[in-house]
Structure 1
Amino acid sequence: MVRHVAGRTVVVTDSTACLPPERAAAAGITVVPLQVVIGTESYTEGTPKARAALMDALRRRQPATTSRPSPEQFAAYFRELAEDGATGIVSVHLSAELSATHESAQLAAASSPIPVEVVDSRSVGMGLGYAALAAARAVRHGETLSGCAAAAAKRATMTSAFFYVDTLEYLRRGGRIGSAQALLGSALAVKPLLHLVDGRVEPLEKVRTAARAIARLEQVALERAGHDAVDVAVHHLGSIPRAELLAERLRAQLPSLANATEDDFGALGDLTVSEVGAVLGAHAGPGLLGVIVSPRLP
């Protein structure tokens, strides 16, 4: 729980934002964890035990499910922040199309002792993380509660998420596959590229190999960056070499903000490489590689 909040708006998000604890703490963001359930055991996302249990389950092909924070859990966080002196809360969460976490926060907001604005990022990973960071930046700039929520919603709307999975089976099991269901009948050699559209997982295109998938992710990320100043996150699950390769390719193509010109693809602000948490990992499966492109707000 983030402290020293007296007299100001505070930002709450959930653990699927993939924000490192130190970065969330530095921004004054409180992170509410989801749970991953394997067999009869429940593990808190963000802990080493959760990751180890998930990776073991994936190796054994053992089913893993996930659980949202309950409305009561959110209510407890909101009460504690109010007791610490917060005057309002912006609660930013992963897509309501993919999880009932947003609904839990809304239900808790109704009984909160202080005003709560709940924002559906319609994204996951750092697509959500950047939205929460935008709200925290607005707090630092003295924006109103509604202004902070609007900043989160605007950044989320501007952000794009593209990803590759070795198989659609894990998304199918979790019911998160959307119209990408149609790709299940493809030949086994075909690898799906997916993206988020209005918070839903949708097919982007098909490629033949993982190497081509990395190259195509690089291309679509550059196209999405355009000539904007962007922050980029590369996510993976158990695929550090592929993630680092993609990050290096993007770093080579996108000049830093200090060195960018009008002729460049775009200007690179922050580039983050991180492994997704156990909850996203349970739904995407091993081999996940994703890229989040988020234009910066003025």
Structure 2
Amino acid sequence: MPVAIVTDSTASLPPEVAAERGIVVVPLQVVIGATVYDEGADGATPELVATALREWKPVSTSRPSPAALLEVYEEAAAAGATEILSVHLSGEMSGTFESAQLAARDASVRVVAVDTRQVGIATGFAALAAADTVAAGGTVDDAAEAARRRSGASSSLFYVDTLEYLRRGGRIGAAAALLGGALAVKPLLQIQDGRVASLERVRTAGRALARLEELAVQAAGHGPVDVGVAHLASPERAVDLAGRLAERLEANLDGREVWCGELGAVLGAHVGPGMLAVCVAPRD
């Protein structure tokens, strides 16, 4: 394919979906204690990270190096790509986009790097929009615009049992004001301008999850959308929420499923066990 699509592991694309769509996924790293793991089934898994966090082991994350991304770009070029679109999580949250920009300078073919200003499946939906555009005969610039348009229209909403993990990882952003009353509230958060921001304060976990559902339905409006539900060590709540959203948004989904799965290890390291997230991504 003349235009290759690259994204990173935080995009939360199921491996079979990425393979089917020809999207190359570059892993970020998780550092637990002194051991470095690539994110993925053979390295850092959500279960591994959740256990380490519960045991108060030091957990941090690391972006892919420019050299690692350059190697991926050159492999794509060797396979026949004449241009590459590299779609990544928010540059406000990770240095991955910066690595992509640096690698692009040395690549043997043109590389367009896109900062989705999003995290998780919202980045994945943006990469899929780019792949759809390329499959329809679009150029790399058309695909980049499709990715930016979709990520800009997406809503990423999430609930955390505690802000402690976001505080530890320095990713709390504009939600920092909640810390003072963290013990008295269950925070609902959102991705705004590429960073974690406060959305609402709710008194109990049950009310917070009910409100998360309502906000997702409001974000969907009346148009066609894709919806994804992600969790860390909270599968029952995630399946329940996905089922309710599938019922309430049946007309918006037009037969498509609500994606439901465990959050990747890298993002999970920053939100902690019990997190529940919803992404609503309008379709063109």
Structure 1 residues 33-65: Cα deviation after superposition (integer angstroms, max 9, x where no partner):
000001110111012541243122112011200
Q: Secondary structure at the match of 2:184?
A: coil
Letter in 1 for 2:4: V
**Aligned-residue offset at 1:174:** 1.0
Q: 252, 262, 277: which is aligned to 1:275?
A: 262
Task: State how far apart, in whole Å, the 2-side matches of 1:270 and 1:17 are.
Answer: 18
1:230–1:270 contact (8 Å) kept in structure 2: no
* Cα separation, 2, equivalents of 1:59 and 1:202: 24
Q: SS in structure 2 opposite 1:110?
A: helix
Could you tell me how far 1:270 is from its partner in structure 2?
3.7
Match of 2:119 in 1: 124
Native 8 Å contact 2:162 2:182 kept in 1: no
Moved more, 162-171 or 43-52: 43-52
Give the equivalent residue in structure 2 for 1:139. 134
The alpha carbon displacement at 1:168 in A equals 0.6
- Counting matched residue pairs gives 282
1:171 aligns with 2:158: no
Question: What's the RMSD between the two structures over aligned residues?
Answer: 1.1
Residue aligned with 2:106, SS: coil
Within 5 Å, give how 1:12-51 maps onto structure 2.
12-51=6-45
Q: For residues 293 and 206 of structure 1, what CA distance do their matches in structure 2 show? A: 21
- What is the distance in 2 between the residues matched to 1:163 and 1:63? 24
Paired amino acid for 1:76: E
Any unmatched runs of 5+ in structure 1?
A: 261-265
User: CA–CA distance in 2 between the matches of 1:74 and 1:232?
Assistant: 29
Alignment of 1:86-235 (within 5 A): 86-186=81-181, 188-235=183-230
Q: Which runs of 4+ in 1 moved over 2 A?
A: 266-270
Counterpart-to-counterpart distance in 2, 1:187 and 1:137: 42
In the alignment, the residues of structure 1 paired with residue 43 and residue 174 of structure 2 have an alpha-carbon distance, to the nearest angstrom, of: 33
| Paired letter, 1:296 | R
Distance in 2 of aligned mates of 1:223 and 1:24: 29
**In 2: Cα distance, 1:38 partner to 1:148 partner:** 36
Q: Specify the code of the residue in structure 2 equivalent to 1:144.
A: T
Paired residue for 2:80? 85
CA contact (8 A) 1:16 1:279 kept: yes
Identical-residue share of aligned pairs (%) = 56
Q: Counterpart of 2:283?
A: 296
Give structure 2 stretches of 5+ with no counterpart: none
- CA shift, 1:95, in A, is 0.3
- Bigger fraction of residues in helix: 2
Residues 234, 291 of structure 1: 8 Å contact kept: yes
Q: TM-score, normalised on structure 1?
A: 0.92
